[in-house]
Amino acid sequence: MTGVPSMHLWLIPILPFVGFLLNGLLGRKLPNPIISIIALLATGTPFVLVLNIAAHFSSLSLPYVERLGPWIQAGAFRADFAFSLDQLTLIMLLVVTGVGFLIHIYSIGYMAHEEGFWRFFAYLNLFMFFMLMLVLAENFLLVFVGWEGVGLASYLLIGFYFTRNSAANAGKKAFVVNRIGDFGFLLAMFLVIAHFGTLSFHEVFSQIAQHPELHGGFLTAIALCLVLGATGKSAQIPLYIWLPDAMEGPTPVSALIHAATMVTAGIYMTVRCHAIFDRSPLALSVVAIIGAATALFAATVGIVQTDIKRVLAYSTISQLGYMFMACGVAAYSAAIFHLLTHAFFKALLFLAAGSVIHALNGEQDMREMGGLKSKIPITFWTMTAGVVAISGIPPFAGFVSKDEILYRTFSSPGLGPILWFVGLFTAFLTSFYMFRLWYLTFFGERRTSHQGAHTPEPGHGADPLHSGHGVHESGGLMLFPLAVLAILSVSGGWVGWPDALGGGNWFGHFLDPVISAQHLSFEQVTVALNNGSSAAASSTPEGNKPLELALAAVSTVVALFGWFLAYVFYIRKPELPGKLAKQFSAVYGLVEHKYWVDEIYAALVVRPLNVFARIGLWWTVDRGLVDGAGYAAAGSAVGLGAIARRIHSGNIRSYAGWLAGGAAAILLLMYFGFGSHMFVWFAASK
């Protein structure tokens, strides 16, 4: 590091933590403007620091590591408190701090009427702190601290309206489901320690690179445990069930969780550990299949949802499935590229949905909306950018990153064409349900003026000061982030514009030093194993310009067809969806009820565990053993006390009687041998 200026990486996470402490400890007594300034400084300053790092990035020797000191030392094992920086870290830092800062600005306007204003921003800063720790960590252990921390912060933010049972239960659900995934992450760390003797990324990956003969076996076990952890954090099958319910939190929380923080953690961790995954074709195949299945499954549920936020929630699960699928075919840079563009348009979509909800005094049911295009024009046009971007229509950001994933998937051997078809059909569904949302929200006549059956966010439906001025456009604090994110949704994908379409794919080449660092050893393993049919063997496919152009044309046609079908269903023939729902009522009911997955989980897992906890743990262990031992000890003391009280009566004859009784008892014991046994024991002990 000689001659290289210190980047002071520790400042990046510590500033949001300071904001959390200030607002958490003093916020109750501070006015809202001061709370807002603290929260903005706590997130805006790290963003400036990251920009400064980006400006000096070319002068750094990578990976750049800052060791703050030893953390754990036990025998030969040592874990340092250290931060690391490389190309992947820089991109994640820009996403987390940049998008997170915009969401903070938006939140000042959106949460202005909330009673827990200080508490909300304290939690929001805490979320940023743990996510930045996770991204900057140089070892598995520090990642795990951030990993658990974002779980805690999400629990607090999802359950922000804790007086409402649905919000409190959603927070608990997110917390419990993520613990299952965290168990997998813990097992992975134990296996890493057992086989490598360290948790340092650099040391583990170096050992793997030095041993090309390593493949499968314990590396597969580690990778599969990491996959379990990632399915929890990134809401993939079978642990996706917490994310739709997370909509109980305020809308800015949804934007932060879905775009910039928690759900990206699983994708980031998978890409960070790609050196392990590269050595296990089985683990990569599992990742690809889970990703494809999740993408398709969530997209089918999204087409019938009526709550505007839940449509976006299932859309997030589906798009994360795309990223997982990309990881499964070793297209790691494509996965991170889609993570980047998804952060732009998904944050935009959630914040724009919040602006719609804000305009309608808490209304979230799209069946109650309509005709908002002219009422809230800025929200309409910015949300349009997000809808077109996620639908995969060129030249918006979503088209570039999604097309890259589909091309890399199709180019991979084995399951590649099947995965590509699943991804293509999912792209069609995505376009359909996003334009469905667009038409139902902004076009036609306002269908009703009363609120639906859902429970609106408290600050946007129950506040009489807020609900008295009808449909209205949001204020500048809420519109500014929308405008910035709309620009990024349009142009953000150009950094990875593919070679086949005349671009240079700068983004992919920028990540090459991180992503391709282990490819050589993997190819050696592949050759050694003669395993050319593995999905992972496609990690560096040869460029095929005609094929890429043809696939891009197909995906564009599919996206436009999804748009056209939504137009027919919700503008030209709005009665058609109802007729189809009646005609195919069984299928519609299955999808409408989300395949009854929550009910199946409740029947097979939740209720049996509740019965076991109530009968096996509560009645047997807690009441029977723990409480019973206490009651028995107390009862024995009371009984012995009662006997002692009767002995100490003050009556001489009574004392003589007890003395005689005691002597008789001793004589009887000695007569029946007890005394001889005691003598033998005493003699043996001598």
* Residue pLDDT, tens place only, 313-357: 999 999 999 999 999 998 999 999 999 999 999 999 999 999 999
Mean pLDDT of 183-209: 91
CB distance 372 to 380 below 8 Å: yes
Q: Residue 83 forms beta bridges with which residues?
A: 66, 137
Mean pLDDT of 229-243: 89
CB distance 188 to 269 below 8 Å: no
Nearest to 162 by CA among 120, 125, 203, 216: 120
What token pair was written down for 536?
A: 């992972």
Residues 6+ apart with CB under 8 A from 65: 82, 83, 84, 85, 138, 202
Torsion angles phi and psi, residue 6, rounded to 5: -70, 135
pLDDT in tens, 258-291: 887 888 899 999 999 999 998 888 999 999 999 9
Residue tagged 């996470």 (tokens): 13
- Confidence band of 189 (pLDDT split at 50, 70, 90): very high
Buried b (16+ CB within 10 A) or exposed e, 417-433: eebbebbbebbbbbbbb
pLDDT at 72: 85
The amino acid at 70: P
Nearest to 234 by CA among 174, 159, 301, 306: 174
pLDDT at 453: 45
The whole-angstrom distance between residue 651's C-alpha and the CA centroid of its chain comes to 77
Residues 6+ apart with CB under 8 A from 467: 361, 362, 461
Residue tagged 């009651």 (tokens): 631
- Between 652 and 489, name the one with better pLDDT: 489
State the angle between helix axes of 140-158 and 217-233 in degrees (0 to 180), rounded to the nearest 10.
Answer: 20
Q: What is the mean pLDDT of the chain?
A: 86
Rounded CA gap, 670 and 658, in Å?
19
pLDDT at 4: 60
pLDDT at 675: 55
CB distance 387 to 442 below 8 Å: no
Rounded CA gap, 274 and 287, in Å?
12
- Confidence band of 300 (pLDDT split at 50, 70, 90): very high
Rounded CA gap, 23 and 38, in Å?
7
Q: Is 129 helix (H, G, I), strand (E, B) or coil?
A: helix
Residue tagged 């827990």 (tokens): 116
DSSP 8-state symbol, 365: B
Highest-pLDDT range among 291-300, 511-520, 569-578: 291-300
pLDDT at 322: 92
The whole-angstrom distance between residue 269's C-alpha and the CA centroid of its chain comes to 11
Q: Is 208 helix (H, G, I), strand (E, B) or coil?
A: helix
CB atoms inside a 10 Å sphere around CB 676: 10
pLDDT at 425: 95
Alpha helices in 111-164 (DSSP H): 117-136, 140-158
pLDDT at 414: 79
pTM: 0.85
Mean pLDDT of 600-611: 86
- Does the structure show a pLDDT above 50 at 607? yes
- Does the structure show a pLDDT above 90 at 124? yes
pLDDT at 51: 94
Nearest to 365 by CA among 248, 304, 449, 454: 454
| Preceding omega of 70 cis (within 30 degrees of 0) | no
Residues 6+ apart with CB under 8 A from 506: 495, 496
Buried b (16+ CB within 10 A) or exposed e, 47-56: bebbeebeee
- Confidence band of 3 (pLDDT split at 50, 70, 90): low
- Confidence band of 624 (pLDDT split at 50, 70, 90): confident
pLDDT at 80: 87
Residue tagged 């971007």 (tokens): 389
- Does the structure show a pLDDT above 90 at 57? no
Mean pLDDT of 134-153: 92
pLDDT at 337: 93
The amino acid at 92: M
- Confidence band of 672 (pLDDT split at 50, 70, 90): confident
- Does the structure show a pLDDT above 50 at 479? yes
Share of the chain above pLDDT 90, in %: 44
H/E element holding 665? helix 652-671
- Confidence band of 13 (pLDDT split at 50, 70, 90): very high
The amino acid at 248: E
Residues 6+ apart with CB under 8 A from 285: 328, 414, 415, 534, 535
pLDDT at 645: 81
| Whole-Å CA distances, 149 to 10, 13, 35, 178, 277 | 17, 12, 22, 11, 25
Nearest to 192 by CA among 178, 205, 211: 205
pLDDT in tens, 551-566: 999 999 999 999 999 9
CB distance 438 to 387 below 8 Å: yes
pLDDT in tens, 417-468: 999 999 999 999 999 999 999 999 999 887 765 554 455 566 665 444 455 5
